Structure 1
């Protein structure tokens, strides 16, 4: 009231003072639809009197159009429109300011008068258009007042109109009975000029200029598309105005930034900034669709609980049957007088089912590739020194290693070591999630209070609000990460309990066979998946470039933990500690934040990052190749030259560990290529680029693991094979929906809205929601693959399981 009332009062006093200085006031009865060509000077003022009938059941728009006909004038014409409950004033030529206080002049001005509701059924209202100036010379102008056709928008009916910066448009919409939420969609065939769509309550004045449209209501910039979901509860009058304003400049919509040499009081040419737009108001979904969407989401992921229970029952029944068959076979051989070893023998039926015995297998049963690349560890393979079984420099540098060589540490010590992964990530999750939740609540509050729809990058064509949340469907679709993460934790817990029971009864299979069972990393992976769901939901409360790392931080965690788990399977003694692993992941997240803030177009940052990326790859390659038996000190260059001289120049011998060398060479090629791509292309989305590096390395290591497992004569059981195939298919579909790109914070909010699309599932979920569904299922399947892929080794002695 203060901001509007004081200028109007000052304006009215000024007009009165001008009138007192021997000015002539002429009042004319005016008609709608008639163009009045007239002149005005500082010595005369013209008042045009209009009257029209206002009905409570019908809203009629009134539009005032003014054009300055004089080519040059030092003083503008002032138009003051006095209504029953409002005063509207503007000058011609109209001066609007842009970026850096650049000023643009408009000689044609059109304004629509606000129409406050009337309490009586019908009444005649008068309004007056006062025209005055301080120019001593005559100024020619044209005035026309007309009624606006189709001022009230109809549901599901498209209406087209034109707008310019000096001729904004607004229309009224009344909620029909039974409709509580509508979506207002504004479209244009042209990207530019940049526009602003605003939703305002029915009140006077209506803020319909570039410099005041953001004062009240909800608003968003737009190029081709704009959409706002409006709820009846936010508008007590059950109606609202749809205001469309064309901006004076295009920088807010990502248009070209032009720098002009500014002079004092310089006026720039506004050019032709007319834009044709279409507006459609459609009913939004009702409460039944919300309920169906939530039930659908719960049903999908609860079905995995049911399926897991059925598979567990089948596997348990199968294990009991296998145990009975094995016991029967052993008893029969004993009755026939055969010589029994202290270790049980596996029959052909058990072998066919994938269960190996505890006796040493002959190399004839292993594939040819395994004979050529690996060999059983016999005493004759190395010099029998006194410290051969304890010196890790001797054990780890053997040409062919078995799991028993890298599983020498006390099991209780290792269990505590790997349990730290779970407790550390739980601590990290608490301290990370709490400020994130607080921050996104603040973001959502700011959006709701200010009405600025440019703060958050939603898919506005499929953003269904619930309570204070602007896009509830994008939050709900993250439920799968939490539910499947919890399910994975329950599966791991069940395996952990069974394994501990086997250890308590001194089961020789659990003690000396199979890959050593350490579940700490699995618990950490399940927790990370649940946290990914929580933080992704927080990110989608208000997605933008400042909080995108919330959505990706635990993705880095998951990728890193999966690689660590793959490495731990065959290297339990030398796997990284939780503190080292999380410190490295913290460095990755740190670079992710730096990349988002400083990486866009910054050559120096990309050079530094690429160098660090390559050096880290080389250091990690050396660590993996030598199993940690090397030192980074002042003598490393001398030792490197000595190795090159003795192994390459003097005798030209090949690498001692061929398999490891193949993996590391491929890994370096991939990482060096990614570093070169980043340095050359410098992608705007640095967080996704960093995630792509992690995923590429994980996939490369996983493929190497599977290939080496098959080369070593090992097999993949049916359950693991089904998980691999199912997960690969789901990942393919998930990535398809991920790359649909419904919004992008790399561009301006207006440009992001050009990618918005309608819902495609149950009229509630969009493409990105389906990505959430499928990616959570795919991650869960990937975890199951890591959990079950070595089940075929559960009855194989560890000194017969090879390290690669």
Structure 2
């Protein structure tokens, strides 16, 4: 910044020095237009003197104009101040994309203002303006020097002005005594021309041209809106410059470049590069708001812990009362389901509806023992036939291919493996996802720290796509509110792990006591997938927070990777409920997730304009849907290999064309037909429209398949006359309501990395909750709660079957 005021008589001394040099400056008057001509042998020097008052900041603006467009002999303007020199030429030349040049005959620049002096008396200041040219002929010019009346911006007061590429503007702002942070809001009615807003320290020269505005301070490109949060601690002098630069072309903001030929752009284009701007500086939130937001976030989700404790206590009281009143007998438990099969009316009287009775299934159950069998007189004894009445097939007790070909399957048919072996198989999901989380999260954390460091060091706020109107910094983080709002995923994920752990402990105690309901009744309890889901929910919070450290298109997959895994794990858990023996192994499941994440990364890189990528991806999508459908329809008996589709075509030809027979498994067939239609529709949509947000496109595929399967499961459960207890019913309703509210806020787009940073900022909106959280933060809160309730639905959905024999629970 310019130094202190010159001592009295400084102006006279400078004038004498110029006179001694043989080139006496002409005294100049502020507000007067000077016209003249210069050439190689004639130059003009003007001296503008003024008096600065104590404690006052004086800013001077110089306007020059030349009608000459001769680039070989420009007019040179040099402005000398007490502690600085500023120079430029007319025509002023800017270079744009593809070596285009933009020439301006009118230039207006603000000189470095004087610093307020501690002196109590006025001080004299002088400015010299030297006009020269190396042209052998006269070149006319105009000169106007004015003192700025509204150079210092005021808090909460809008200020309007105009700028162009050759006439940038900057203003001074000082922090009031009681303000530690402010937000600079800049708006414009017109999106173009593209502009840059910069906040710079009080240092001269001020970088206020297109080619140097990025050299100092923090800056943003702008179309219609920009917002920069500035903290007092970042400026030791408690003041800064707000600089406004208009770019010579709009390419950086997403606009088109002029379609003119190579070389100079016509004068009409330059005349259109004027932009009207309005700047308002408002105080940012106080530290107390940060504290309130933190308390709100943590206490809000701690209420879920309190609710869970209350539910667990009520459940404990009810169990104790039932124990004192006498537990339901097995006869009553199985009797409730005897008349509840939806398809029993279509089977012959006395048929077991495909169930394996006690006499035939005892040999197949590897854990059966006399202590585990129901007492005599139960309904299992009534279904025993005399062995002499029919020929037995020993294979039906052990050969899974024979068992799974039955038209009607019961849970006992698909839960024949050793419970301990199956439980270990599902626990691998838990340990593997922890390993994946560690190896995935550490590089992500390191990368986003690097991103944030680059933003802080370079000042380039176009790197990250924040909602700048509601981005509250804390420490080195630029948008702490977007990170804090992810605490719900971690807290509710941990709470879900505690709920699962409680159920796991109670189940193990019951197994140790050889409780008959635990051994032979209800859905087999395997908690490995539930533990994996809880870890995935916590990691979704961690990675979403990492993504919001610096959100942009190159790291969006951090925010969605574990969403794929959550959706996949939920589908696997839903399928495992009725198919405990034939679910996918952890290794194949996570390998499939790895393929999906790899495709997501490739889609982000190549999916924008590469038609071949979409063709290949659509083919993979359709083939994967068909392969998975075949595997589901035939209960894992259709081996997935190269010849799988050939065998499927042969079966389809034999069953549907030669014999035209009715599908053996009608319910599964309906589900798979609808599922394939949905997936093929997604494939066709992607191939035709090629959405830019490829990661969200894949996530949509996963979520639609999960919702489709969940709806099928609930419908089949109700068709089987099974009940929905109050807790799962409440969770289902809460899930639907919270997901609906969450999706509403999700679609309130506040930024978009699919567009340029300037266009993304047009979508920015102020905070809506506590003056700290925006719409996307509310989405984080609600989506965490919605996922938690969704997990509880899967955990409690079949609690009504805990007193029902497994050979009475249908498979669908």
Q: Normalising by structure 2, report the TM-score.
A: 0.91
SS in 2 for 1:456: coil
User: Which of these residues, 7, 22, 25, is aligned with residue 23 of structure 2?
Assistant: 25
Q: What runs of 5+ residues in structure 2 fail to find an aligned partner?
A: 2-17, 358-384
Pairs within 5 Å for 1:316-715: 316-327=316-327, 344-346=330-332, 357=333, 359=334, 363=338, 365-366=339-340, 368=342, 371-372=345-346, 375-377=353-355, 384-632=392-640, 639-715=647-723
| Aligned position for 2:371 | none
Decide whether the 8 Å contact of 2:494 with 2:538 is kept in 1.
yes
SS in 1 for 2:211: coil
| Aligned position for 2:198 | 198
Shift of the alpha carbon at 1:261?
4.3
- The structure-2 alpha-carbon separation of the partners of 1:425 and 1:73, relative to structure 1 and needing over 3 Å to count, comes to closer
Decide whether the 8 Å contact of 1:25 with 1:44 is kept in 2.
no
Decide whether the 8 Å contact of 1:103 with 1:267 is kept in 2.
no
Distance 1:672 1:499 in 2: 42
- The structure-2 alpha-carbon separation of the partners of 1:71 and 1:493, relative to structure 1 and needing over 3 Å to count, comes to closer
Does 2:107 align with 1:109? yes
Decide whether the 8 Å contact of 2:356 with 2:413 is kept in 1.
no
Distance 1:382 1:222 in 2: 84
Distance 1:270 1:314 in 2: 76
User: Which of these residues, 17, 26, 39, is aligned with residue 41 of structure 1?
Assistant: 39
Shift of the alpha carbon at 1:325?
2.5
Distance 2:584 2:509 in 1: 28
Shift of the alpha carbon at 1:319?
1.5
| Aligned position for 2:805 | 797
Distance 1:238 1:71 in 2: 43
Deviates more, 1:115-124 or 1:697-706: 115-124
Distance 1:30 1:247 in 2: 32
Aligned length: 757
- The structure-2 alpha-carbon separation of the partners of 1:78 and 1:714, relative to structure 1 and needing over 3 Å to count, comes to same
| Aligned position for 2:87 | 89
- The structure-2 alpha-carbon separation of the partners of 1:385 and 1:257, relative to structure 1 and needing over 3 Å to count, comes to farther
Distance 2:652 2:297 in 1: 59
Pairs within 5 Å for 1:113-132: 113-121=111-119, 122-132=122-132
Decide whether the 8 Å contact of 1:24 with 1:44 is kept in 2.
no
Decide whether the 8 Å contact of 2:627 with 2:640 is kept in 1.
no
Distance 2:658 2:566 in 1: 45
- The structure-2 alpha-carbon separation of the partners of 1:668 and 1:502, relative to structure 1 and needing over 3 Å to count, comes to same
Deviates more, 1:122-131 or 1:277-286: 122-131
Distance 1:223 1:448 in 2: 23
Decide whether the 8 Å contact of 1:24 with 1:45 is kept in 2.
no
| Aligned position for 1:254 | 254
Decide whether the 8 Å contact of 1:81 with 1:87 is kept in 2.
yes
Distance 2:434 2:260 in 1: 55
Distance 1:637 1:223 in 2: 54
SS in 2 for 1:203: coil
Distance 1:480 1:361 in 2: 40
SS in 1 for 2:721: coil
Distance 2:390 2:172 in 1: 90
* Structure 1 ranges of 4+ moved more than 6 A: 265-268, 379-383
Cα deviation 1:260-296 (Å, max 9, x = unaligned): 5435x88885342000000000000001111111111
Decide whether the 8 Å contact of 1:73 with 1:135 is kept in 2.
no
| Aligned position for 2:226 | 226
- The structure-2 alpha-carbon separation of the partners of 1:313 and 1:40, relative to structure 1 and needing over 3 Å to count, comes to same
User: Which of these residues, 731, 747, 757, is aligned with residue 765 of structure 2?
Assistant: 757
Distance 2:758 2:265 in 1: 29
- The structure-2 alpha-carbon separation of the partners of 1:116 and 1:424, relative to structure 1 and needing over 3 Å to count, comes to farther
SS in 1 for 2:518: helix
Distance 1:479 1:368 in 2: 45
Shift of the alpha carbon at 1:24?
7.6
| Aligned position for 2:367 | none
Shift of the alpha carbon at 1:635?
5.7
Q: What runs of 5+ residues in structure 1 fail to find an aligned partner?
A: 2-18, 331-342, 347-356
Decide whether the 8 Å contact of 1:532 with 1:554 is kept in 2.
yes
CA RMSD, Structure 1 to Structure 2 (Å):
2.0
- The structure-2 alpha-carbon separation of the partners of 1:129 and 1:729, relative to structure 1 and needing over 3 Å to count, comes to same
